[in-house]
Amino acid sequence: MIPLSLAQIARVTGGQLCHGDPDAVVSGEVVIDSRRAGPGGLFAAVAGERSDGHDFAAAAVAAGATAVLATRPVTVPSVLVADVPAALAALARSVVDALPAVRIAGITGSSGKTSTKDLAAQLVERLGPTIAPAGSYNNEFGHPLTVLRADAATRYLVLELSARGIGHIAYLCRVAPPRYGVVLNVGHAHAGEFGGLDQVARAKGELAEALPADGVAILNADDPRVLAMAGRTEARIVTFSSAPVSDAPVRAVDIRLDDLGRPSFTLLTPEGSAPVTLRLHGAHNVPNALAAAALARELGMDLDGIADGLGAAVARSRWRMEVHQRPDGVTVINDAYNANPESVRAAIDALVHLAQGGRAFAVLGHMAELGGTSRASHEDIGEYAARIGDSGLAGLIAVGEEAAPLLDGARRVRSWTGEALAAPDGAAALELLANRLKPSDVVLVKASRAAHLEGVAAALEGEAGQ
């Protein structure tokens, strides 16, 4: 981060300096994990459910941190504040204000933020020094901590903005005001907490509202709730679309998937067209790639650079559509990072595509935070799994009691000849699969984060003589 003295940090955060030299300088990383505290850094002590960061204040300073940001007195150099996230936000904002040359992009949507952020970062890095968060570091802690990594050399910030309620994205946009805003889609992720899709749209649209008149709103023309956000911004609108017919300036046409579900398409822009083949799996990565392309184009990247960059981009964050081919001929799709109705449908589509010629199995845990529509949503996904392709999935394994309505939905499809199997936990799911899987079968593993099905996927990947 840009060097700040403890006196400056106290002033910006409205905090009180304790036991410290006001001229001591923080120039290293700001962290909330004391184990990551290093020379010249700042350790923000947070009281969590299991442990209290204040207990590690001395260890952080011993590891080289210049000081600690704390809400109660500690025995080492510290700045005492009332609220640590608010202090981090104030610090991040002061860093952004001190770096006017940095161009800030925010990416939001119900599904695909991290995938798009990782794609966009890999394009924008070609234009100049870029800071982007690791994984889904996108909330009231991760967001300011990411922004605080910026320094005088930084040219671009590519940020993932998440919301679990109204006002959250507006808040993140005040911490680091974006000039470029990407909205991917409005879906059912966290829809229960929001109280319906219209509320989700209201929340995601706060990004469009936060953009300045000389900013750019990059909107998915294929999602009517996203397109409607054009009416909520002063910024110039740039749309993208993967529909066969569209007047969006950034488009994908001739979309095809290879045997492993990797999309190829022709990228159309006002400057011309270029062929693109992604290394990522699943057709849902086409709109993600278009959003990244539209952003890079606005930042000045030419068409060839965009097409080349998209083709070179790899999955940077784990457990999102990882395709693993076992020596025994079974393919495992590890999409265990999280799940909501849209992303499960997208993953089932990819599963069925990959299974051409073989049988498709899905190991699905429950989709969290859907509120009152939860049971119906699970039943609908089960039905989708039983209807897809020529004859539905060969097997649907629901892990845990909360996922059981998936099976009820699948059984609604009278013509379905696949198996509906209940597994109390991941180990039971593995047992059910063990005597069913044959060469050329494909298995998808997916659930909400809380279900931790990545262990099931890892066990499946490791099987058969690895």
Ligand X SMILES: Nc1ncnc2c1ncn2[C@@H]1O[C@H](COP(=O)(O)OP(=O)(O)OP(=O)(O)O)[C@@H](O)[C@H]1O
Element (H, E) at 240: strand 236-241
Site string for Mg ion, 84-113 (x = CB under 5 A): -----------------------------x
178 binds ligand X (CB under 6 A): no
Closest CA to 17 of 91, 67, 53: 67
Q: Any contact of residue 440 with Mg ion (CB under 5 A)?
A: no
Give me the residue label for tokens 């990551």: 36
CB of 289 to ligand X, least distance (A): 10
Question: Residue 139, interface with Mg ion (CB under 5 A)?
Answer: no
For ligand X, the closer of residues 223 and 383 by Cβ is: 223
Instruction: Report angle CA 5, 10, 11 to the nearest 5 degrees.
Output: 95
Does 114 interact with Mg ion (rule: CB under 5 A)?
yes
Neighbouring CB atoms inside 10 A of 359's CB total 17
Alpha-carbon torsion (283, 287, 290, 295), positive or negative:
negative
Q: Which does 179 bind (CB under 5 to 8 A by kind): ligand X, Mg ion, none?
A: none
Instruction: Say if residue 415 is exposed, middle or buried (CB neighbours under 10 Å; 0-12, 13-18, 19+).
Output: exposed
Residues 128-147 that bind ligand X (CB under 6 A): 136
Minimum CB distance to Mg ion, residue 45 (Å): 26
Choose the contact partner of 364 out of ligand X, Mg ion, none; CB within 5 to 8 A by kind: none
DSSP secondary structure string, 368-399? PS-GGGHHHHHHHHHHHHHHSTTT--SEEEEE
For the chain, how far is it from start to end, CA to CA, in angstroms? 43
111 binding ligand X? (CB under 6 A): yes
By the rule CB under 6 A, 321 interacts with ligand X: yes
Which residue has its beta carbon closest to Mg ion? 136
**Residue 289, amino acid:** A
Query: Smallest distance, Å, CB 311 to Mg ion?
Result: 23
Q: Annotate each residue in 69-88 with x if it binds ligand X (CB under 6 A) or - if it does not, as one string.
A: --------------------
Report which residue's Cβ sits closest to ligand X.
112
Q: Is 306 in the site for ligand X (CB under 6 A)?
A: no
**Is residue 168 at the binding interface for Mg ion, with CB under 5 A as the rule?**
no
Q: 321 contacts which partner out of Mg ion, ligand X, none, CB within 5 to 8 A by kind?
A: ligand X
CB distance 371 to 192 below 8 Å: yes
Exposure class string for 273-303: b at 16+ Cβ within 10 A, else e: ebebebebbbbbbbbbbbbbbbbbbbbebeb
Interface with ligand X, residue 342, by CB under 6 A:
yes
User: Among residues 184 and 283, whose Cβ is nearest to Mg ion?
Assistant: 184
Shorter beta-carbon distance to ligand X: residue 45 or 229: 229
155-174 residues near ligand X, rule: CB under 6 A: 162
Residues belonging to the chain: 466
Instruction: Tell me how far, at minimum, the Cβ of 143 lies from ligand X, in Å.
Output: 12
Contact between 297 and ligand X by CB under 6 A: the answer reads no
Instruction: For Mg ion, give the closer residue by CB, 114 or 285.
Output: 114
Least distance from Mg ion to the Cβ atom of residue 115, Å: 8
Contact partner at residue 130 from ligand X, Mg ion, none, CB < 5 to 8 Å by partner kind: none
Does 377 bind ligand X (CB under 6 A)? Our answer is no
Among 397, 330, 324, CA closest to 359: 330
Site for Mg ion (CB under 5 A): which residue of 7, 24, 58, 136?
136
**C-alpha pair distances (Å), 158 with each of 51, 150, 399:** 31, 11, 36
Tokens representing residue 453 in the block: 């099905």
Sheet of 272-277, strands arranged across: 130-131, 156-160, 103-108, 180-183, 216-220, 236-241, 250-257, 263-269, 272-277
Is 320 a binding residue for ligand X by CB under 6 A? The answer is yes
Question: What six digits make up the tokens of 341?
Answer: 């109705």
Q: Would you tell me which residues interact with Mg ion (CB under 5 A)?
A: 113-114, 136
Interaction site with ligand X (CB under 6 A): 111-115, 136, 162, 184-185, 189, 284, 287-288, 320-321, 335, 337-338, 342-343, 346-347
